[in-house]
Amino acid sequence: MKHSRILIFSAGFGNGHYRAAEAVIEEILIKEPEAIINHLDFGDFLSKRFNSMAKNLYMEMVKHTPKLWGKFYYKTSQFQPDSLAQRFLNQLGRKEFLRYIQSFAPDLIVCTYPTVSSILAQLRIEQILHIPLITIITDYTVHSHWVHPGVDGYVAACDEVKENLIAWGIKPEKIFTTGIPISPKFNLDKDKETIINKLGLNPKLPIFLLMGGAYEEAKGIKRICESLANSHVSVQTIIVCGKNRQLFHALDELVEHSRNPILRMAYVHNVEDLMSIASLLITKAGGLTVTEALSKNLPLLIYRALPGQEEANADFVQRLGAGNVANSEQDLHQLITYYLTNPQEITKLREKAAIALTGRSTEGTVNAMFKLILSTRKKRMIS
C-alpha cells in the first residue's frame, strides 16, 4: 500500500501554530508509522527581510503595544477574502510554494497558519494546485484571514467556530468540528501521586501552576509568585519560566526563602504531567494552552489575554464556566485569594472543564485528514 505523503505548514508567529502541527504529526505516526511527513515554516518561503520584518513587527506590537495589536486585529477581522489586502497576501511566495509542493508531491497539505492557507487556497481556486488542503484554526474564534473558499476542509475548535465559518460562506460539509489538535500525550491517564512525589510536593495541598514563560515582563510575574509564596493559606506553586532566563533568575531569593513551596522550572517537555496534578492554571489564553488545560479538566485563571484572538479564547473559557479572567494585576491577586480561601469554587470550575470538550481532538482531526486523502484517491482512480 502507498505510504501517505503529507505536507504541513505552520509559522513562527507565536508557538501555538507550531504545536498544533507537531500534535498532528504525532497522531499521524500513531495511525500510519510509515507516513512521509514534512513540516515547514511558511516564512522560509518568503524573503528573509520580509519575514524578519513581519515577525519583529508582530512581536513588538504584542509585547509593547497590545492595544494597537487589538485594533489591527479587529479592524482586519471583517476583510473579505477578495479584498485588496487579502489579494496582496495571496501572492506571497506562490512560485516558491508551488516549486516545493511539486517536488514533494504530497497527498495532502495541512496548514495551521492562515496566510499560507489562503495562498494555497487561491491556487486551488485557480486550479493551479491539485492537492487537497486542510486548514486547522488554532483559536476559539475566526478571523477573516482564515477564510477562503478554496480550502477543502476546515478543522474547527467548537460549534461557534463552525457557525462563524458558515456565516462566511463555507459549506458545512467542509467543516470538521473535532477541536484544536493537541499532543496525544494529553489523552493519557497519569498517576498523579507518582508525579507529585517525584516533584517533592505535598498531595494534600493545592498546587497552582503558573505559565510564567508566556509573559515578557519579569517583575509582575515575580509579584504574583511573592503573593503565593507569602499566602497565609497553604499553597504550592509551580512556575514554568520557559526560555525567560530573566524571570528564572529573578526568583532565586524567593524560591530559597519562600513561606510556601515554590518549584521553579525552565523550559519543560512534560506540561501534561504538570497540568495533571495542578489545581488551577494561571496563564495567558493561547488556543493550544486553553485546549490542553481543558483536556486535563484543569480550571484556568487567565491573566493579560492579548487583545484579539486571546480575548476570544478567554471569553470561551468564561462562557463554559471553566475559568475566570483577570484584566489587571489587582484583579489577579484578588482572584487568587478568593480561590485559595474558597477551594470549593475551584471544584466547580473543574466540573465545568471536565465537560467542555469532546476529547481526542487530534485523533478526530487526523481521521478527517485520512478520509480526505482516501476520497481524493478514489476520485482520481475513477477519472
What digits encode the pLDDT tens for the residues 243-302? 888 999 999 999 999 999 999 999 999 999 999 999 999 999 999 999 999 999 999 999
**The three grid cell numbers given for residue 186, joined into one nine-digit string:** 494529553
Return all residues near 168 (Cβ < 8 A) that are at least 6 apart: 142, 144, 147
- Give CA torsion, residues 336, 340, 344, 348, to 10 deg: 20
Q: What is the pLDDT of residue 187?
A: 92
The contacts of residue 206 (CB under 8 Å, 6+ apart) are 234, 235, 236, 279, 280, 340, 343, 346
CB 322 within 8 A of CB 356: yes
Do 243 and 267 form a contact (C-beta atoms < 8 A)?
yes
Q: Which domains does the chain have, with CATH numbers?
A: 5-179+360-382 (3.40.50), 185-355 (3.40.50.2000)
Phi and psi of 199, rounded to 5°? -85, -5
Question: Which residues in the chain land under pLDDT 70?
Answer: 1, 214-216, 383
Q: Which residues pair with 136 in a beta bridge?
A: 155
| pLDDT score, position 215 | 59
In the block, cell 462563524 appears at 164
Kind plus residue range of the DSSP H or E element containing 222: helix 218-229
How confident is the model at residue 83, as a pLDDT?
84
- Do 81 and 135 form a contact (C-beta atoms < 8 A)? no
Q: How far apart are CA 270 and CA 14, in angstroms?
A: 19
What backbone torsions phi and psi does residue 237 show, to the nearest 5 degrees? -115, 130
Q: Is 133 helix (H, G, I), strand (E, B) or coil?
A: strand
pTM confidence score: 0.93
| Res 80: pLDDT | 82
Q: Alpha-carbon distance 78 to 54, whole Å?
A: 21
Beta bridge mates, 324: 301
Q: Write the pLDDT tens digit of every residue in 188-202.
A: 999 999 999 999 999
Q: Which residues contact 27 (CB under 8 A, 6 or more apart)?
A: 181, 184, 362, 363, 365, 366
DSSP, collapsed to helix, strand or coil, labels residue 134 as: strand
Residues with Cβ < 8 Å from 150, sequence gap 6 or more?
Answer: 120, 121, 122, 123, 124, 125, 133
Q: In the prediction, which pLDDT does 231 show?
A: 94
Phi/psi at 91 (nearest 5 deg)? -95, -10
Instruction: Give CA–CA dist 333/224, Å, rounded.
Output: 7
- Rounded CA separation 3/245 (Å): 43
